[in-house]
Chain A
Amino acid sequence: MRAGPGRLAGAAWRAGLPAAVALAALIAWPLASVLWRGVAPDGAPSWEAILAVSGDRFYWERLGFTTAQALASTALALAVGLPGAALFALVRFPGRRLALALVTVPFVLPTLVVAVAFLQLAGPGGWVSDLLALAGLPRLEPRGTLWAILAAHAFFNLAIVIRLVSGVWANLDPAPEEAARLLGAGPVAVVRHVTLPVLGPAVAAAAALVFLFTFTSFGVVLVLGGPGLDTLEVTIFRLAVRLVALPEAAILSLVQIGATLGALGTYAWLQRRIAAHQVQRPDRARPLSALSWRARSLAAAEGLLLALFLGAPLAALAWGALTVDLGRPSLAHFARLFEETSRVSFIAPADAVRWSLSFAAAATVIAVALGVTAATAVARTPGRRGVLLDALLMLPLAVPAVVLGFGYLTTFDRGWYDLRGSAWLVLFAHTLVAYPFVLRATLAVRRSLDPRLREAARLLGAGPVLAWRHVERPLMARGVRAGSVFAFAVSLGEFGATSVLRRQEFATLPIAIFDALGRPAGLGRALALCTILMLVTAASALLISRLRYREIGEF
């Protein structure tokens, strides 16, 4: 008789094979190719390039800055997000689910939109500057300052902290806290000595994820950064695309992949520790009316802070797009989108919307197929091999999008697979960037399924395919839905790889935004385009409001 696990693993690899082949073609090959070209420009590995890069203070400074800004952004996101997580976990207030959905919106917003929103809010013509001017202080110029980058990073990563931590917090066993109260701990001591330590892994997991996303930040830094404020990813972009300095770009890519893999590994390890502490219990949140006045005013203050922090930039963005000359309502910015048709590099907004939606739809379909297959393979592979497979399949999240795009250009460049200048490459890149979200969301639901359900179906006579179709697939559907919403939004906002693969004929909305920003007096047009992109994204993000934390999975 053959051993069960062995047979299971065999089935898993068969199921995972198509996904593995697709991933090998779409990521391993181009990545290996671009890295090999970098490290071995003449066909053999050359230590000179590595030594040149490692001896250059400039690159060390970039690494140092990238790490420091990621740490600071993470700290800021935690500082604003943790009280917010407490609010959502402990207080049942009217509109709580809608509020949670709104908090999620920034996370799915394209980074470029976030950057432009902060530019508009805090810029020389923004509301913050207006307030400062009223107080007799000079107007601000956020471009080229660190705090603008940090604020934007905290803005779109707040959702990670709030959703992940409040999801765990709401399911935390309240009994140890009561025990602490009875043993004489005051409210503050309970939080310090019991709640936070038990919540530790969840907070750390959220921090690891925020660190990951801010470490690889591209769009925000490109727009809001300036001299001395380039992250590794932006440096790689400049080296590879502007300077065609491949060896340096390849070596920096390796450094970045190493760092992101580290953050991903930490996150995965922490995720498993969270599960150990969690007790599935009914929602422990208490209605607003059951709180003391002090707790109520604290909750209200935190709610107001969140609303301001999350609402102001988006409101400023919409306001800026819909007004001219200091507040006169007008659609002039939108009208100007359609001017300059004679310009060689003109991007028609309607075309940009169409391409963005087409790429997102196609990428989501492929990402779902890929993600579900991958999740099934991971879930069916037992033990350490499953963990390894999981890490391998999450690799696309660790690869800098810019490097991915560059790899495509240098790999699919001859014979029948010469795809340079083809929209297919953009689609492949979007698929790869989006699919980890489907994998995570599906896997989270898939793992929570009782494996005996499948066994029961098999014993009742269903073959592997029928068991999957009638038992696993319907139960996984919610995770797949959540994942596909994320995938769609991520594709809509993808900027790094697309900026490398861009072509005038199939420019997406983020490309059009960046293009507008680079033109004289283009902020108005960028604002108008951002508003369009924000609306398109918000429409898909609204779907998320129907889904709960567990269904969103580990993101």
Chain B
Amino acid sequence: MTSLAVRALERSYGGAAGPGDPFLLGPIDFDVGDGRVAALLGPSGCGKTTLLRRIAGREAPDRGDILLAGEPVLALPPHRRGIGLVFQELALFPHLDASANVDFGLRMARWSEGRRRERVGELLRLFELEGLGRRRVHELSGGERQRVALARAVAPEPSVLLLDEPLGSLDEPLKAQLRPELREMLGRLGTTSLLVSHDLRDAVEIADELLVMEAGRLLQAGPLPAVLSNPATARVAEMLGYATLVSGATVVRADGGLAIVETGVGEVDLPAAHRAGAAAAARSEGAGVALRLLAHPASLLGVPVDSGLGCGVVGEVRRVLPEGPLSRVELALGSPAGPPRSVQVRWEGGGPPPPAGAPLAIAVRPDALRLFGSADASTAPAGGAS
């Protein structure tokens, strides 16, 4: 069942475009299933906060529709939509204590005294805030504040919970600590949630679904593992952390097979598994088709050039980043004349990693490679299996 559906939502230029709201939005279409946690990922200024504001009713869209539990809500004022919102910097009421913050929405909805006390107590327990109810906002730690904001948003039992960069203003160690905590809390709540973030780690650790947005458009949407493993375009792949191994044109090998060649970088055989889209075009046309081959650094291994294990791309070691007993190695790719490009690979060889300046080959399983037409608007590969 779909809890939140956005249909052909658009916003045009003109009117009172405020800061952070500079451009055309949409048309955008997506669904979030009942009880699922979706993450809306995109760089700053891509329109994700604008989209959230439209859903929350803080601004009206120009066209399109928003459905909550199947009901169109655009005509409703924000607080009648059944939406809870966790603000970017939490926006807790500084003059109230933790329980009064949680209680606020219930008070406004005129719940009875008894039910309010019961609900606030229940939420404080659920969010592990027992004993902190009388604390003022500034007396709480970052994580506690986070949980109060969450409890306040869900207190009036909204059907959808929106979270606007909920970890945005925190420092990295605290973020790392709060991500699993937030995941755990959202799981316990079971409320359909939409989280906006520019940090891939937030999405990966918290969400079930992933929506990737850029420049006012939705690039891809789907279950998190599917999107992460099969980005729809080279741009989405890059946003998800993929690196370009080869960006070049196809050549026909002596044995009749196809390879992609980039001068100064190397040449890689066109993986047999790739049959659809850009790969299909290359197979039918043969030589001279522009293609890009991307792979996620987690699937790349650095191997000696003479080992024969490499995929055909050789880079020059730029620096070595020790990681526990192993290392990550940053390789510079490309001829010295071209624009600089780098890729990180794991080093799992027996000895120490090669020193800076040394050549290193990259090994990768063919099914971990992702192939796109160089025009970016290419199709997904035929799948990772085989």
Which residues of B lie under 8 Å from residue A175 when comparing CB positions? 87-89, 91
B78, A181: Cβ atoms under 8 Å? yes
Most A C-beta atoms less than 10 A away, residue of B16, B78, B104, B138: B104
B78, A198: Cβ atoms under 8 Å? no
B87, A184: Cβ atoms under 8 Å? no
A198, B105: Cβ atoms under 8 Å? no
Contact-residue bracket for chain A: 20 to 34
Which residues of B lie under 8 Å from residue A181 when comparing CB positions? 78-79
Q: Does A137 contact B (CB under 8 A)?
A: no
CB within 8 Å for A185 and B95 given contacts A178-B58, A290-B16: no
Q: Does B156 contact A (CB under 8 A)?
A: yes
Q: Of B16, B88, B93, B94, which contacts A180 at CB under 8 A?
A: B93
CB within 8 Å for A277 and B87 given contacts A180-B104, A185-B108: no
Which residues of A lie under 8 Å from residue B138 when comparing CB positions? 276
Give the contacts of B89-146 with A (CB-CB under 8 A): 89, 91-96, 104-105, 107-109, 138
Which residues of B lie under 8 Å from residue A198 when comparing CB positions? 93-95
A184, B79: Cβ atoms under 8 Å? yes
B95, A184: Cβ atoms under 8 Å? no
Which residues of B lie under 8 Å from residue A185 when comparing CB positions? 79, 104, 108
Main secondary structure, interface of A, reads helix
**Interface segment, A4-12, A43-51, A114-122, A189-197?**
A189-197
B79, A183: Cβ atoms under 8 Å? yes
Q: Does A518 contact B (CB under 8 A)?
A: no
Least Cβ distance of A168 to chain B in Å? 13
A176, B109: Cβ atoms under 8 Å? no
Q: Does B232 contact A (CB under 8 A)?
A: no
A182, B93: Cβ atoms under 8 Å? no
Q: Does B83 contact A (CB under 8 A)?
A: yes
- Measured CB to CB, the nearest residue on chain B to A276 is B138
B108, A197: Cβ atoms under 8 Å? no
A178, B95: Cβ atoms under 8 Å? no
Q: Does B346 contact A (CB under 8 A)?
A: no
Which residues of B lie under 8 Å from residue A276 when comparing CB positions? 138
A194 to B96, CA, bound (A): 9
Give the contacts of B31-85 with A (CB-CB under 8 A): 56-58, 78-79, 83-85
Least Cβ distance of A516 to chain B in Å? 51
B91, A176: Cβ atoms under 8 Å? yes
B109, A179: Cβ atoms under 8 Å? no
CB within 8 Å for A179 and B94 given contacts A184-B79, A193-B104: no
A178, B105: Cβ atoms under 8 Å? no
Q: Does B175 contact A (CB under 8 A)?
A: no
Contact with A along B254-287 (1 / 0, CB 8 A): 0000000000000000000000000000000000
Q: Does B152 contact A (CB under 8 A)?
A: yes
Least Cβ distance of A277 to chain B in Å? 6
Q: Of A178, A189, A200, A282, which contacts B87 at CB under 8 A?
A: A178
B109, A184: Cβ atoms under 8 Å? yes
Most B C-beta atoms less than 10 A away, residue of A178, A184, A185, A194: A184
B152, A183: Cβ atoms under 8 Å? yes
A185 to B152, CA, bound (A): 14
- Measured CB to CB, the nearest residue on chain B to A287 is B16
Q: Of A173, A178, A184, which contacts B108 at CB under 8 A?
A: A184
A176, B92: Cβ atoms under 8 Å? yes
A189 to B104, CA, bound (A): 11
CB within 8 Å for A179 and B87 given contacts A184-B156, A277-B94: yes
- Measured CB to CB, the nearest residue on chain B to A286 is B16
Which residues of B lie under 8 Å from residue A183 when comparing CB positions? 79, 104-105, 108, 152, 156
CB within 8 Å for A194 and B93 given contacts A179-B87, A181-B79, A182-B85: yes
- Measured CB to CB, the nearest residue on chain A to B96 is A197
Give the contacts of A232-276 with B (CB-CB under 8 A): 276
Least Cβ distance of B123 to chain A in Å? 14
Give the contacts of A133-185 with B (CB-CB under 8 A): 173, 175-176, 178-185
A180 to B156, CA, bound (A): 12
A176, B78: Cβ atoms under 8 Å? no
Which residues of B lie under 8 Å from residue A194 when comparing CB positions? 93, 95
A189, B92: Cβ atoms under 8 Å? no
Which residues of B lie under 8 Å from residue A290 when comparing CB positions? 16
Which residues of A lie under 8 Å from residue B56 when comparing CB positions? 182
CB within 8 Å for A182 and B78 given contacts A175-B89, A290-B16: yes
- Measured CB to CB, the nearest residue on chain B to A196 is B95
Least Cβ distance of A141 to chain B in Å? 46
- Measured CB to CB, the nearest residue on chain B to A185 is B108
A197 to B92, CA, bound (A): 13
Which residues of B lie under 8 Å from residue A184 when comparing CB positions? 79, 105, 108-109, 156
A179 to B90, CA, bound (A): 9
Q: Of A179, A193, A277, A282, which contacts B91 at CB under 8 A?
A: A179
A418 to B92, CA, bound (A): 63
Least Cβ distance of B14 to chain A in Å? 14
A193 to B106, CA, bound (A): 13
Least Cβ distance of A28 to chain B in Å? 40
Which residues of A lie under 8 Å from residue B152 when comparing CB positions? 179, 183
A175 to B168, CA, bound (A): 15
Which residues of A lie under 8 Å from residue B88 when comparing CB positions? 175
Which residues of B lie under 8 Å from residue A189 when comparing CB positions? 108
A181 to B96, CA, bound (A): 16
Which residues of A lie under 8 Å from residue B156 when comparing CB positions? 183-184
- Measured CB to CB, the nearest residue on chain B to A193 is B104
Least Cβ distance of A367 to chain B in Å? 37
Give the contacts of B1-49 with A (CB-CB under 8 A): 16, 19
A189 to B79, CA, bound (A): 13
Q: Of A179, A193, A277, which contacts B85 at CB under 8 A?
A: A179
Least Cβ distance of B59 to chain A in Å? 11
B16, A182: Cβ atoms under 8 Å? no
Least Cβ distance of A293 to chain B in Å? 17
A176, B93: Cβ atoms under 8 Å? yes
Most A C-beta atoms less than 10 A away, residue of B56, B93, B109: B93
- Measured CB to CB, the nearest residue on chain B to A279 is B89
A105 to B58, CA, bound (A): 39
Least Cβ distance of A197 to chain B in Å? 4
Which residues of A lie under 8 Å from residue B105 when comparing CB positions? 183-184
A178 to B84, CA, bound (A): 12
Which residues of A lie under 8 Å from residue B107 when comparing CB positions? 193
Most B C-beta atoms less than 10 A away, residue of A179, A181, A182: A182
B79, A176: Cβ atoms under 8 Å? no
- Measured CB to CB, the nearest residue on chain A to B137 is A176
Least Cβ distance of A466 to chain B in Å? 37
Contact with A along B309-352 (1 / 0, CB 8 A): 00000000000000000000000000000000000000000000
- Measured CB to CB, the nearest residue on chain A to B90 is A175
Least Cβ distance of B95 to chain A in Å? 4
Give the contacts of A100-117 with B (CB-CB under 8 A): none
Q: Of A179, A197, A282, which contacts B95 at CB under 8 A?
A: A197
A295 to B94, CA, bound (A): 27
Which residues of B lie under 8 Å from residue A173 when comparing CB positions? 89, 91
A178 to B59, CA, bound (A): 12
A197 to B100, CA, bound (A): 13
A179 to B156, CA, bound (A): 13
Which residues of A lie under 8 Å from residue B109 when comparing CB positions? 184
A182, B79: Cβ atoms under 8 Å? yes
Least Cβ distance of B193 to chain A in Å? 15
Least Cβ distance of B67 to chain A in Å? 19
Most A C-beta atoms less than 10 A away, residue of B94, B109, B156: B94
Least Cβ distance of A174 to chain B in Å? 9
List the 8 closest pairs (A to B, CB-CB), nearest first.
A175-B91, A183-B105, A184-B108, A184-B79, A197-B95, A179-B91, A185-B108, A176-B91
Could you list some 14 contacts between A and B, CB below 8 A? A173-B89, A175-B87, A176-B91, A179-B91, A180-B93, A180-B104, A182-B78, A184-B156, A197-B95, A197-B96, A198-B95, A200-B95, A277-B94, A282-B19
Q: What residues make up the interface of A, taking CB atoms closer than 8 Å to B?
A: 173, 175-176, 178-185, 189, 193-194, 197-198, 200, 276-277, 282, 290
Q: A173-B91, A183-B105, A184-B108 are in contact. List 11 more A-B contacts (CB 8 A).
A: A173-B89, A176-B91, A176-B92, A180-B108, A182-B57, A182-B83, A182-B84, A182-B85, A183-B108, A183-B152, A198-B95
